[in-house]
Chains A and B, each alone.
Chain A
Amino acid sequence: MRTPRRFDRRLGVLAVCGALAVGVAACGSGSSASPPRRPPSTTAAGPTTTGPAPAGPAPATAPAAASHEELAQVEQQLAGVPGLLSQAQQANSAADPDQARAAEGG
């Protein structure tokens, strides 16, 4: 008689523990009642990023629109450089001392 009663008690403890474990697992991974958790959406909250956002603090995406303007300014600056380089090349060509020697005469 003692043995079955002790056995029943053990079974009861196991049942309670099992139920708790199932509950904890259900709480951690979600259940049929709650959908699985997903990474925060970047298309809804983030203004410009297109790929999945990394975990942690939000990336510096806010200045992107201003950066586009700044990039356009940089492009505009760079547009004047080829003309300067071409003028430099022409001036350097006119500085040939061998040709200058011939012009000197004397």
Chain B
Amino acid sequence: MSRLIRLLSGAAAGAVLAGATVTPAFASGTGQTPRPTLVPRPAVTAGTASAPACRPFTAQRQRAHTDVAMRLTTLDQLTTTIIAAGDPYGVNGGQRAALGDARTGLVALDEKIQTGCYTDRTALDADTRTIFTGYRVYWLRVPQTHILEAADRLGAARQTLGASAAKLAGLVGDNAKAKADLAAMNDALANADAHVGNPPALGGSVGAVPALAPAVDMTADVAALKAARRDLEAARKALDTARRDALRVVADLGANPSA
């Protein structure tokens, strides 16, 4: 009990003394002699008007604003890119939403950084770091979007080649050479499917890319991105092989292939 009384009286005394430096009229009513040299102690006077002053950190805020502005521009470009890429695998809606969410979050974060009260650099550092670690616009969203764009292009090529293979299957008849070349074409298409998938099913390691999210430690994301890039290149080569096989079938059947 005596301990509680000591605590209460100490806090009250501290509040009164601190208040005296800011509002002398209130302090004058206590009957105590104000100490002119008294320095406010924020830890004790929390909630009163004597909170530590906000500091400008002008250069750091400006730098943060520039970083955010660059990222907003990049996010807009990525959105344009993914819209123009077509969507044979049906995953671009999620990517557009992720890019839009990143934009909204960065705008809000910038506003907080520019207008917020930072009494020390630690809090500002934490917020500015979030521009990088919380969004990973360049380290994740750029490669992620371009990987999906590449997959879209390959998916469109796969659809075209698949339609060509189906048409050629009805034309080869008993032409043994044409049948063999068509079989090779279908093998190449199956090879491509193993690496990127046959639309609308996104496959291979590329299938994991849409779900990648920003992280402080990007090790896993980078590994997934690199695996997807390898699969995309393998699929591209397989589809090019399929295209050449298709042209051979056309030549076998007596047309005049252009390539």
Residues of A participating in the B interface, judged by any CB pair closer than 8 Å: 60, 67-68, 70-75, 77-82, 84-85, 87-89, 91-92, 94-97, 100-101, 103-106
Contacts and interface: CB of A to CB of B under 8 A. Distances in A.
B149 interface: yes
Given A74-B167, A81-B161, 10 more contacts: A70-B167, A74-B164, A74-B255, A77-B164, A84-B156, A89-B233, A95-B143, A97-B139, A104-B136, A104-B137
Contacts of B146: 91-92, 94-95
A106 B147 contact: no
Contacts of A74: 164, 167-168, 246, 250, 255
Given A70-B171, A105-B132, A88 B246 contact: no
A54 to B, nearest CB: 10
Interface of B: 67, 85, 129, 131-133, 136-140, 142-144, 146-147, 149-151, 153-154, 156-157, 160-161, 163-164, 167-168, 171, 173, 218, 221-222, 225-226, 228-229, 232-233, 236, 239-240, 243, 246-247, 250, 253-255, 257-259
Given A71-B253, A95-B146, A77 B163 contact: yes
B150 A92 contact: yes
A75 B236 contact: no
10 A-B pairs closest in CB distance: A106-B132, A88-B153, A91-B150, A95-B146, A71-B255, A95-B143, A103-B138, A104-B138, A84-B157, A104-B139
